[in-house]
Structure 1
Amino acid sequence: MRVALFVTCLTDTFYPATGRAVVRLLERLGCVVEFPFEQTCCGQMHYNTGYPAQAGELARRYRRVFAGYDAVVAPSGSCAAMVREYYPSLLAGADIPPTYELSEFLVDLLGVLDVGAHFPHRVTYHPTCHSLRALGVGDRPTRLLRAVRGLQLYELPQAQSCCGFGGTFAVKNADTSTAMLSDKMHAVASTGADVLTAGDNSCLMHIGGGLSRLRAGVQPVHLAEILASTEEEPWQPATR
């Protein structure tokens, strides 16, 4: 299967290890992975802040750059949801490259749960809003996590509650965002996990930033990095 990685802006800029983990994981599972260098933003920020024309330009670029691939995989439920939910109207019914969030690609297209991962840590999972509500990934991520050797999965209280990030929402509604973040951080801390994972680095950045200020001792780690980790090539904690 010829697969393209849509790395997304935030991951490419701040969390490149996640992009590398996706490639390593998919290649281990037999996929031929390519990285189109002309890719750029999906346009979600533009669309959500009232610039549909500019978002449409980016949608047309996305369609051109990713045309011809069997699948496009994104380590972001948020960006995958933008493509799947809003591109049909922005592109006036034109064909859109088949785009998948990582967990749904692994479970639905490749048909795997045990990806050969090894991650001996206590983990709790936060289902991000777009993956949960827009894409409906359901329990795919937790099914993948339960198949990881050495991993102890702890249920997150009130898991379906938003973390308060929401892109520009956190900037325009800082007080509300902070209150939502506080609830989420307390829920994470109550699990006793030492790793928080999710399918979106944006939410992990938001929650992880709060946890670091509390010195909670919980490391945010993208789902892709957990699934790519093996005994031979284990995940290494961030040093920054």
Structure 2
Amino acid sequence: MRTTKVYLVWSDHSALLWSDHSPARLEYPMRIALFATCLADALFPESATSTVRLLERLGHEVVFPPKQTCCGQMHVNTGYQAEALPLVRHHVEAFERGPSWDVAVAPSGSCVGSVRHQHAMVARRYGDESLATRAEEVASRTYELSELLVDVLGVTDVGAYYPHRVTYHPTCHSLRMLRVADKPLQLLRAVRGMTLIELPAAESCCGFGGTFALKNSETSTAMLADKMGNVLSTGAEVCSAGDSSCLMHIGGGLSRLRSGVRTVHLAEILASTEKIGSNA
């Protein structure tokens, strides 16, 4: 029998009853902390700014814990767990000591997966039970964007308009670690003006996997070729996903083919309201 943890989370204005099994759907404006991620900060800021614009349009307040930095996922996945421990501690402290918040959101399934599945594990491996408990509390309120919208806010139609042919690549971490299932597709199906085209073999990996693409470049390239072939077979103008890392990998391949197919983060599509496809 599954045991469901319940947390009482205090914000500036109310208390929320929380469950890690079936998140409560919340009706009033929330205070949402943006977990921006390294890739958004360094390479793809549009995924973060679009997340903020979308949530504010839905009536919520977005705050930014200013001390946040890398969550340590790359270190853990590459075998450097001891080196990841200070990053885990820093992430927890950044979100504990920053502005108060009800939930946190990241435009990345892989980074949220790291916070949920790796942070407490790393802390316990090196004997810091106090940090592990604190990491679990932060993780219990941290969501990938589609999870937050559908499971917590109870929204599938966010009022977006995006008049393009789009196919969607469900990323490995979002599917296999977070189990977001079809939540991104629920959101995309409600976007006005958009034609959503099913991606063949959608659940197959694009071949990125962080350093996997470097250490196993031939295998990664073969996997990418399969993914690009499936994307091109749809006739879509845009390939979307919830992780900028996968979009970087797929987009690089499509660019080298001079395919004309663009890669656009899920958050950018959901934030779009202009008939010309602008995110303004």
**TM norm structure 2:** 0.82
Residues 69-80 of structure 1 aligned to structure 2 (within 5 Å)? 69-80=101-112
Structure 2 contact 188–196 (Cα < 8 Å) conserved: yes
Aligned to 1:3: 32
1:162 to 202, 205, 212: 205
Q: Deviations over 1:209-238 (max 9, x none)?
A: 0001101111000000000000279436xx
What residue number does 2:223 align with? 180
Q: Which moved more, 1:119-128 or 1:58-67?
A: 58-67
Residues 112 and 144 in structure 2, CA contact (< 8 A), matched pair in contact too: yes
C-alpha separation between the residues in 2 aligned to 1:88 and 1:232?
45
Match of 1:230 in 2: 273
Task: Check whether the contact 2:163–2:277 (CA below 8 A) recurs between aligned residues.
Answer: no
- Equivalent of 2:122 in 73, 76, 90: 90
Assess if the C-alpha contact under 8 Å between 1:114 and 1:144 holds in 2.
yes
Q: Contact 1:226–1:235 at 8 Å: present in 2 too?
A: no
Segments of 5+ residues of structure 1 without an aligned counterpart are none
- Aligned counterpart for 2:95 among listed residues 58, 63, 66: 66
- Any conservation in 2 of the 1:4–1:72 contact (CA below 8 Å)? yes
Is contact 2:161-2:275 (8 Å) kept?
Answer: no
1:15 to 2:41 alignment = no
Alignment map for 1:60-209 (pairs within 5 Å): 60-67=89-96, 68-91=100-123, 92=129, 93-95=132-134, 96-97=137-138, 98-209=141-252
Q: Residue deviations 1:23-61, cap 9 Å, x none?
A: 000001111101122110010111111211221111111
Q: Aligned partners of 2:78 and 2:185: how far apart in 1? A: 32
Q: Would the alpha carbon gap of residues 219 and 41 (structure 1) be closer, same or farther in structure 2, given more than 3 Å must change?
A: same
* Number of matched pairs: 237
* Whole-Å separation in 1 of the counterparts to 2:122 and 2:79: 13
* 2:85 is the alignment partner of 1:39: no
SS in 2 for 1:135: coil
Task: Provide the rounded CA distance (Å) in 2 between the counterparts of 1:141 and 1:209.
Answer: 23
CA distances 1:43-80 after superposition (whole Å, capped 9, x unpaired): 01111112112211111111111124211100000000
2:58 alignment counterpart: 29
Q: Which runs of 4+ in 1 moved over 2 A?
A: 90-93, 231-236
SS of the residue corresponding to residue 54 of structure 1 reads helix
- Structure 2 unaligned residues grouped into runs of 5+: 1-29, 124-128
TM-score of the superposed pair, with normalisation by structure 1: 0.95
For the aligned residue pairs, the C-alpha RMSD in angstroms reads: 1.4
User: Residue 156 of structure 1: CA displacement?
Assistant: 0.3
1:48 alignment counterpart = 77
| Distance of 1:235 and 1:172 partners within structure 2 | 38
The secondary structure found in structure 1 opposite 2:62 is strand
Alpha carbons 1:225, 1:235 under 8 Å: kept: no
- Aligned pair in 2 of structure 1 residues 233, 20: CA closer, same or farther (>3 Å)? farther
Report what 2:86 is aligned to.
Answer: 57
Matches within 5 A, 1:205-224: 205-224=248-267
Q: How far off is 1:179 after superposition?
A: 0.3
Identity rate of aligned residues, in percent?
Answer: 64
